[in-house]
Structure 1
Amino acid sequence: MKTGLTLEFYKYQGTGNDFVMVDNRKDTFPKENTDLVKFLCDRRFGIGADGLILLENDNLSDFKMVYYNSDGNTSTMCGNGGRCLVAFARDLDIIKDKTTFNAIDGLHHASINKDVVALQMIDVAVIQQKDKYSFLDTGSPHHVQIVANVASLDVKKEGAKLRYGLYGESGSNINFVTPLADDTFEVRTYERGVEDETLSCGTGVTAVALAMHKQKKAISNTVKVKARGGDLTISFEQNGSGYKKVFLKGPAQKVFKGEIAC
């Protein structure tokens, strides 16, 4: 890239879902330059990340989250990215242990204790039940499908088939799930925008927990989901046929800080 920009950035990860973080409270980042975002997320020529997140000022809350997928395009809500942004805001001394921030799907409440962030996700009113899968929106669209042995599945191949074949160009994230024990599930996720498997997906594991509870595969209102990058806990309350007070909880950590000429 030849923009003449020297960018200060931070790298954060939440259960292996990694993000380039930029403090954009002075509104200096060229937000329409999708090629720049794609370059920064590139694992060979740039910094390397599943996505890029701008922290910006907001009139309604402590800060605003602007999220880009690694393909350079702005996208829907990212749960692990939101958790990492809370840790970033704490490290910048914007917040202490609790916060409310604005994202593309509305206001989110969160708390942080050391490296563990609990993020309130949006309420889910509808879960579509199909013969072989469930579909729901937890801030991003998610397909949830039980398989016998998710560990041996070719997630990139099978996920791409469904992402494009079933949902078309706009697509959906695809989650493959294997029940392990009572209220515990193993999941692997193909993420649209990344167009590959990621080590973890926050809105995805949230969708899995709610879908499994809806299907009565989970009994408790607290569900543990094991992603390839680590374990996450989802708690919730039933609200008629839907769910409310949905919280995604897990670690979020700073990896490093740096500067890049781009």
Structure 2
Amino acid sequence: MSDLSRDSDRILSEGRALVRDNREGGRHRRAVSIGEGSARVRRKNWTKRLTYFVGAVFTILVAGSVAGLVLDGIGFVGVMAIALAVVVAAAVFSNYPKVKVPKRSDINRGDVKQMVSRTELWLEAQRPALPPPAVNLVDQIGVQLDSLGYQLEGLDQNHPKAREIRSLVGEQLPEMVDSYRKIPAHLRTEKRAGATPDEQLTGSLTKISGEIDSITRQLAEGSLDDLAIKHRFLEYKFGEGAETSPQLEHKS
């Protein structure tokens, strides 16, 4: 039984290493989230996978221990069977359950804040099919969508800016990426109307990035003004006001 315990510790250690490597995208690649929203979804997914894996390993070890007690030891073959079962569990739960990427038709549903989060996750899944300059812009847009999401807290769904965001982020951005992906790979570098599809995509993403930044700044104006007013009030009360306030006299 002591041999089984030592082997179990080794198996658990190897299993944890395998899960960690797969969680980071494998030994040869790392998955990169384009924003905090998609990163949060992936962290929740990996927490669920790790929970399933730990449960599976616990079940395997309990079954092995029971078999060892009943059979008075499981021998080398039994230990190897346990090791194989743990490796299989690690392989399964490093890929299952997968992150659910929103369908294109489901992006522009719900409130505008949820729509922005879905777009971020969907856009992240499109990165492998995009040219390098566009990938860099997608990463930039992911960060911008995070900032935009913070500004959408409590925003009326019928507000003009909410409708503008829904059109830009929920319709125009996905439609443009979809249109690019439908073009055969060998035609994406051929010039048409003065620019290649790669260049057209990059240019369009640049414009969308600029629009997202502009909308975010406009939505933040109220908070910026409010902060400035509070700053001036505190400056008056504890700055200049403090200098003109009467001083207490020290009585001997």
TM-score band by shorter chain is under 0.3
- More strand by percentage: 1
Report the TM-score, using the length of structure 1 for normalisation: 0.20
The structure with more radius of gyration: 2
Report the TM-score, using the length of structure 2 for normalisation: 0.20
